[in-house]
Every structure is written in structure tokens, then in C-alpha cells.
Structure 1
């Protein structure tokens, strides 16, 4: 065996060991949850607060609770972030309306479970929740491809503005009871009567979300190292040069943009089951920004980095929850510092 062959083999074994380690960690994680910690921070925080703001912080003890709910939520956001990473990180398509396609998947799941009439045998058109997931994915991909076909000729800020507008149009349409199906500002509540019995215990949903998050990461890893992945990278770096090399730039963009809808629809379907509701306020512009931040935080184009960034983001939101009035201020300052000192993200390569 040559030296190069040995290096390649060791790299493959290292990657396999990393995947195995992640799988084992996710499998054992529920046994360590819920996790809680409490600190008496008032004694040292108050002097700092008095010097900065002129009054005490009002915080005597600070408690952090991390439960299975947060682990499931992190897994769902990993799926969302992978879909957006495909557009932003791989193909360079700035999308500020990604959450709209998550909403489409969530509302399709909620509508089917609550609004679709029973047939003569008292069985729904899709008798099982898992049979609805392909429909959620198809709906998100269909709308995403239709939007992409009309707006992907645009670049940069212009594309961002169009996708932002579409996200707001979707939210307003859902809030105004689109086709009399979306429940208006009240949304759709999934009562225990219509919820699948499989999810009466939170653990099955966690394992399902974690498995699909791993599958999403693995799928993106395979795509990144494929011929299509190299075409997306070429388009991201320089569209003119990519076209000169024989790449159909528009087709590469529409594929990247459309395939992102697979992850959006999948995450939306599970998100509705996790929240037991589909509500328009869950899919506003702030939620889109959160997913963008996860991608930027981890490092655009990096699969492990974006997954790590998603988990860190969810944990930070929970860790800072006790600082209700200052949480977003602290979080924003942290992001600004990150952009100044490490603009390539937590896992991005310097100078890349």
C-alpha cells in the first residue's frame, strides 16, 4: 500500500469513527436529560450591572434547564439549516424567506390531520402521519421550484429581497385563512385526538428527528462531493466562469434551490408534530433570520459546522432565557464579535 493510500484509508476510518461517535451520542442523550444547573450569580453580577446601567440586575439565581424538547428542536433546526446551507453555502443563493417553505410543510401536515374529511370507511386519505410527509416535501419543493423559476435570474441583494417578500406574503396569506384551511391568526391546533399515538411519548419524535438530521447531513455530504456539488461551488464562486466551463448556471441554481425544499418540507412536517400546532407567528421573518444565523454561525458550506452552529444557537437561546430583557442584546453582541473576529464561521476555513 502506498503512502497516499494509507492516508486515504486513515481519513476514511476517521470519518467513519466520527459518524459512529455522533450516532452513539445521540442514542444515549435522552438518558442524560433533563439536565439542569443553578448558579447564585447575583453577588458578582450586581456590581457590574450597577456600573454599566446604574441599577441592580434583579437576578439572584440563574437556572438553566435543558430537556428532550430542546434536543428535538435542535435536530429539527439542523434539518432546516441543511436545506438553507444547500442554497446559501453551496450555490451562493441568499434566501431570506426559507421559513416560508417550512411553513408549507407544517401546514400540509396540520391540514391533513385535522381538516381532510374521512372517507366512507372512516379512514383518512393518508391514514398514517408518515404517509403525509412525502406530500409535505412535494408541496414545499413544488412551490420552491416555481418561485426559483421566476426569480433565480436575480443575484445577491435582489434575490434576497424577493425571497424576503415571498416569506412575508406566505405568512400573511396563512394568517388570513388561505382557502379557508389555515385557521387564520389562530392557526391549526393538533389536539391529542388527532395526534399520532406514536408521539404520545416525546422520545420517539426525538429519535426520529435525530435520525433524519443525521440523514440530512449525510445526504449533503454526498451531494457536496458529487458532480452537482462541484457545479454548485463553481456557480457560487463565479457564474461567468462557470458558464464558460460549460455549466448550465440556471439549471444548477434551480436544482440547489429546489432540493432545499426537501429539507424544508420535512422539517416543517415534524415541526408541526413537535409543536402540536401550525401557527403563522412560528414562521415569521425572525425565524428565517434564525436559520440564516445558524448557517453563518457554523460556516457557510460546512456541513459539520452548520450542524454544530444550529445546536449552539438553540442552546444559547435557552442559556440566555433567564436574561429576558437582555437576551437578544447579549446574543447580538456575540454575533457581531463573531463576524468581526471569525467571519468564516465556527468551522469555516480562514481565508477561504
Structure 2
């Protein structure tokens, strides 16, 4: 008895193009939420907490869905799971568009966040229907379009000028967070005698409909792990943008976490990760408390140092060491040898 195997259906340029458009839309979906937060806050009477939650919900959902989508795609077929995923996303878009308030909008965003799972599913479809060489090129195109879509939210065609004013207070002004008019009054009072172009900015602020007011904070936790769960980056030790060290701490933390687990069990490895990284994190978070945040100082001395640096931007930067930035020398972790058998 002879059995004839069916020839796999090959994907043409149109199919790859469709996956590329899907990747472009997925990236754009992630990027367009943040610029619309001020508008949504005004239309839905949303406070700073709701705005912050809205900003992070879609990326968090995408991060959770992506590995699950890849696993289901391998098991049940990339195309089948992709179609069902797009149905979920369409429902989420409809819910978001018709949302009368924040809770319904958040539910819609959770459903829309599933769209990021389209990326690994696209890779599964491409690898199944194209040769090895063609699939590499197609995956590169799809990935590039996803990144390109993520830049959509940063593009704008208007000539508006945006101002960023910040100030320090002993305690957060909690009483004004839910009151937009009180926010404007507080900012106007703080910068009343600032001079330069600031009076014009304050006047425009009272007329603007997209003012965003929030407090700057850090994440400081007594522990970064429990059981088999560990946190890294902003989730464990966000230093705030005042330090300029958020990306550095996240990259260093991820490196130390991976290396600490490479040749240890999870209990010993997670403890080693925290022990070896915490001092470095504390030093960089402390830049704000000591008035050492480069662009946003909180002491007269640090302010003068900042202004002096700005005046000398046309010259070669000095080689002045920054102890907090180099407080940790990254060890060279040895890769784990594969077990025999």
C-alpha cells in the first residue's frame, strides 16, 4: 500500500504581506494609547491613577498573551489560533470604542492587548509555509513592520509646542490629583515668579485641554522574589525618570537574574540575584534623594551644577566619574553545560 503525502500549501507574497500589515497594526495599536491618555482622562473624567493604568494595561496584557499564543499556535496551528485571536481583538476594539467609562474601557483594552500575540503566530505560519531561507526574510519583514507600527504614536503633523514643568514638595499634593483646576492653580502658584517664557506657558496651561499632572515616584520593595516568582526592572525597582537610569537598571537586573539562575536552583539563584544587585539599585535610586538627578536637581548646589553643564554642551563632555552608574561590575557568567543524555 502506497501513501501519498500532501504537499504543504506555500504562502505567497500576498499572504506574507497580509501578515506584515497585521504586524504593523499590532505595533500601532500599542503605541497610540499613550498619546490619547490626556484626551481620555478629560472625556471620561479619569484621574491620574486611571490614566496610568490605561497606559500600561495593553502592554502588560500583550506580554502575558504572547507566550500563550505561541504555545497554542504550536499545538493547534498558527492560522487557526490567529483567526480566533483576531476575533477577540475585534471584540475588544468594539468594547473600547463604545465604552461609557473607565471600567468598560479597561476591559476592552485587555481584549485588544491580545493582538500582540499575532507576532509569534505569524512566525509559526511563516515557518510552516515557507522554506528556511524564505522564512527568515519573511520574519525579518514582519518584525520590522511591527517595530515600525510602534512608532506611529510618536508621529504628529501639527506644530504644537509642549512644555514640561516639574517641582519638588515635601509631600505629594494628594488633594489636587482629582481636581484639574486645582492642579493648574498649584502649578501657576509654584512658577508665578519664574520669569523667562514661563508666564506664557502658564497662561496657555489654563486654556489647554490636554494638561497631564502626576507625581514622580519610585518602587522600593523589601524583597524582589517569593517562591518561583521574581521581579526585575521597573516592577521591582523603578528609579523614576529623574535619575535617567531606568533602562540601565532593567538591563543590569535582567542580566544578573539570568546569570544567577544559570547554575543554581531557583531558591539559591533568586537570593543571589537580589543580594548581588540591591546595592547597585539603591545607589541609583538614591540619586534623587541626594539631589543628584542630573536634569532635575532639588538642591541649590545641584541646580548650579546642572546649569553649568547645560552651558557647556558645546564642549567635549568631561570624564567625571559617576559612582552610582558604575557601582556594579558585571560578572561573567559561565553558560550551563547541557546534561548528558
Asked if TM exceeds 0.5, the reply is no
**TM score, norm. by length of structure 1:** 0.34
- Larger Rg computed on CA atoms: 2
**TM score, norm. by length of structure 2:** 0.34
- Greater RCO, CA 8 A, separation 6+: 1
